[in-house]
Structure 1
Amino acid sequence: MNRLQQALDSLQDRIDTPAPIVLIDVMQDNIDRMQAFATHRNLDVRPHVKTHKCLEIGRRQVKAGAVGITAGNVGEAEVFAAAGFDDIFIAYPIWPSVTKGLRIRKLAATTRLRVGVDNFAAVDALADAMGSEADRLEVVIEVDCGARRSGAPPEAAGSLGSAARKRGLVPVGVFTYPGHGSLSPDARKRAAMDQEAALTTAVRSFNAVGIRADVVSAGSTPTIEFASNSIITEIRPGEYVFNDLNNSRLGACTEEQIALFVAGTVVSDWVSDQVILDVGTKVLSREGSPETGYGAVAGTQAVLSKLNEYHGFLAVPPGDFHPGIGAVLPIVPNHVCPVVINFDELIVTDSAGAFLERWTVDARGFLS
């Protein structure tokens, strides 16, 4: 990953730190590779924009062949819909309280909108919110495949779909999230198999009540490689666009496929076995552990051993490299998603650092 330092060296006199740096050539390769993977397997790509929250990147994903986008909440969907994205799946079991019901209704009037549902109360609440326009809203039943997050039991999918249809909503399929595939390299394939089994059961449950599951939607970046079963119709990867240390450790990407890092500056070095960088939890969040670290310096074995809000503690054991005060280093995050939301803009260049652009993180702060 020395290429990250090379790109940073050409930029450091033009940027303030800490700053998120995106290598556009690596990012575009990631987008194209995922699209080619899906096309070869006759799958639709519906990338999750929660990772980047950036209109320009979303446009690049759609231009590459994505059928639409996945959003994590109503606010994200509104930002992208206002910019012309017209096929949006909010892959979350929304409770349409206060303003959300009206906002969903407005979105459904201007876009092809799908929302996640995993309980009967939400079916009724969404139908009430849509009123006479219930048939404009497509619902996708979320089922649990072992991550033990949100999601109904797969065998309940048909009952939920039937309830939605009776209330005038349009049940179009099922989705799940194999989050337990991020636990270890070996867990990736097992989670994908769990996902396949859960989706198969859910589709059968739909069939049993006379509903066709046109949408059978799978995630996520760590398990995509194994999402090739014929029952799956679309994939919803998010992190693949940038990748990160977690995905690299899992074997879901190579180090050369990491497209985002954070530029951080050494600001203090009074302790012999560590230096302090201006990269703390306000930048990297708290993703990590003392054992794995909270981010790594590209091209080295050095990791951040501790974070305060504005301080990153970089361990520099004797004999290892010891960056001096003012050194600007490329820090690769463990998990890229919570890094992006800490910044108003992304600094965009290529692996040679040949140019510099600034792209707005357009949906930053839209959490409801």
Structure 2
Amino acid sequence: MMHLPADAPDTPFLAVDIDLMSRNLERTATSAAERGIALRPHAKTHKVIEIGRRQTELGAVGLTVATVGEAEVFAAAGFTDLFLAYPVWATPSRSARLRAVAERTTLTLGVDSIDGVTELASGLAESGVRLMIEVDSGHHRSGVQPGDAGAIATAAVRAGFDVAGVFTFPGHGYALEGRAKAAREEAEAIAGAAASIERLGIDVPVRSGGSTPTMADADPSVLTEMRPGVYVFNDAQQVELGSCSFADVALTARATVVSRSGQNAIIDAGSKVLGADQPRWVTGGGRLPDYPDARIVALSEHHATVAFPPGEAPPVRGTVLRVAPNHVCNAVNLANELVIVSNETVIDSWIVAARGRNN
């Protein structure tokens, strides 16, 4: 049984092992530096000011964010270089918010269409905002084909923007097979897009890619920058993908066994704590690092059913368990704070400052 310290909050809560997190941060920063790839971590995973500062102290060139709201939070906290890594559609109200952010920090925005450039120009001309052209490297979400990047870069230059470079998200690396293949396709798409732009006489100083599953295979002969996010904590998905082990999972939900039935234990953390992400290829609704053969077979809002294999008795009522969420980014966005522990002693709590800043 895990015994919580007297100053720990009631379960369920999200706990961060600061020693494991620090190791994750340092290892990735060292790996990027040794390969000559700039590190721009994606802050959408942690949404925490203290963690962003640790990343920049370890050499990150800036932070990646997913929304204008996240950019506002980190700019207000003093971060000086932010990249909004998706195609921003600049409505008048959003343009006003972006201008305010750009007054406080170096701000780069993603774009993947000439229409997008036109909309950005209508509200952000002479704002100092830079643009990055997004290309599709196989994930088939946003982004243009590499050969079309030049036309968008030309439109951006004509509209008065500085084109900082090209970027992609190799999201198809989130699969049981194919992480290395996704990294190769990432490099091919980035190289093709850069060539498309350079043929038109426009420099491409930044070639940005990378995700946690693919960063080990990132090609330093093509990429100048990578933007992993989950690596700071890791999660059950990363364990099942093989990009880390349970020993690398720094964030876990702490949950209490409140009921038992046969081989099942019912814990007091459900989808409103763990998140509801469950891709087809994962083996349950989360994983228990201390019980690797157990599986979360059902998620309710406030409870989860954990099935233990034959011959392994479920923990008794009152036992506190560590649960690795499938997708840590979703779990963090559901929490007001993260409880910071070292050797299972509570040493601090950090506010999830950008929680809910999704627009």
TM-score by length of 2: 0.96
CA shift digits 1:28-84 (9 cap, x unpaired): 111111110011011110000000000000000000110100000100000000000
Q: Distance in 2 between matches of 1:289 and 1:68?
A: 30
**Structure 2 unaligned residues grouped into runs of 5+:** none
Pick aligned residue for 2:218 from 215, 227, 236: 227
Aligned to 2:157: 165
**What amino acid maps onto 2:170 in structure 1?**
P
Q: Distance in 2 between matches of 1:19 and 1:10?
A: 12
How many pairs are equivalent?
Answer: 357
**What amino acid maps onto 2:267 in structure 1?**
L
**CA shift for structure 1 position 310:** 1.0
Aligned to 1:268: 259
Pick aligned residue for 2:242 from 251, 257, 260: 251
| 2:246–2:289 CA contact under 8 A, matched in 1 | no
Q: Please give the secondary structure, in 1, of the residue aligned with 2:103.
A: helix
Change (3 A) 1:313 1:355: closer
Cα root mean square deviation, aligned? 1.5
**CA shift for structure 1 position 210:** 0.8
**CA shift for structure 1 position 117:** 0.3
Q: Please give the secondary structure, in 2, of the residue aligned with 1:222.
A: coil
1:22-33 matches, within 5 Å, as 22-33=16-27
CA shift digits 1:142-177 (9 cap, x unpaired): 000000111111111111011001001111100001
Aligned to 1:189: 180
Q: Distance in 1 between matches of 2:243 and 2:270?
A: 26
**What amino acid maps onto 2:287 in structure 1?**
A
**What amino acid maps onto 2:230 in structure 1?**
E
**What amino acid maps onto 2:242 in structure 1?**
G
**CA shift for structure 1 position 10:** 4.4
**Runs (4+) off by over 6 Å:** none
**CA shift for structure 1 position 228:** 2.6
| 1:295–1:332 CA contact under 8 A, matched in 2 | yes
1:150-161 matches, within 5 Å, as 150-161=142-153
**What amino acid maps onto 2:306 in structure 1?**
L
Q: Please give the secondary structure, in 2, of the residue aligned with 1:141.
A: strand
Aligned to 1:347: 339
Q: Distance in 2 between matches of 1:187 and 1:55?
A: 33
| 2:275–2:325 CA contact under 8 A, matched in 1 | no
1:1-368 matches, within 5 Å, as 9-11=3-5, 14-131=8-125, 133-134=126-127, 136-184=128-176, 186-269=177-260, 271-288=261-278, 292-300=283-291, 301-350=293-342, 352-368=343-359
Q: Please give the secondary structure, in 2, of the residue aligned with 1:297.
A: coil
Q: Distance in 1 between matches of 2:20 and 2:107?
A: 31
Q: Distance in 2 between matches of 1:347 and 1:176?
A: 33
**CA shift for structure 1 position 316:** 2.9
| 1:274–1:317 CA contact under 8 A, matched in 2 | no
Per residue, is there more helix in 1 or in 2?
1
CA shift digits 1:197-234 (9 cap, x unpaired): 00010000111111110110011000000113312110
CA shift digits 1:233-268 (9 cap, x unpaired): 101000000011211222211221110100011112
Q: Distance in 2 between matches of 1:128 and 1:281?
A: 42
Q: Distance in 2 between matches of 1:22 and 1:11?
A: 14
**Structure 1 unaligned residues grouped into runs of 5+:** none
TM-score by length of 1: 0.94
| 1:12–1:328 CA contact under 8 A, matched in 2 | no
Q: Distance in 2 between matches of 1:355 and 1:281?
A: 25
Q: Please give the secondary structure, in 2, of the residue aligned with 1:171.
A: strand
| 1:47–1:69 CA contact under 8 A, matched in 2 | yes
**What amino acid maps onto 1:239 in structure 2?**
V
Q: Distance in 2 between matches of 1:281 and 1:354?
A: 26
Q: Distance in 2 between matches of 1:257 and 1:12?
A: 26
Q: Please give the secondary structure, in 1, of the residue aligned with 2:198.
A: helix
Deviates more, 1:247-256 or 1:150-159: 247-256
Change (3 A) 1:331 1:68: same
Q: Distance in 1 between matches of 2:227 and 2:44?
A: 11
Deviates more, 1:358-367 or 1:308-317: 308-317
Q: Distance in 2 between matches of 1:188 and 1:289?
A: 16
Q: Distance in 1 between matches of 2:195 and 2:256?
A: 55
**CA shift for structure 1 position 284:** 1.4
**What amino acid maps onto 2:157 in structure 1?**
R
Change (3 A) 1:289 1:88: closer
**CA shift for structure 1 position 11:** 3.1
| 2:95–2:120 CA contact under 8 A, matched in 1 | yes
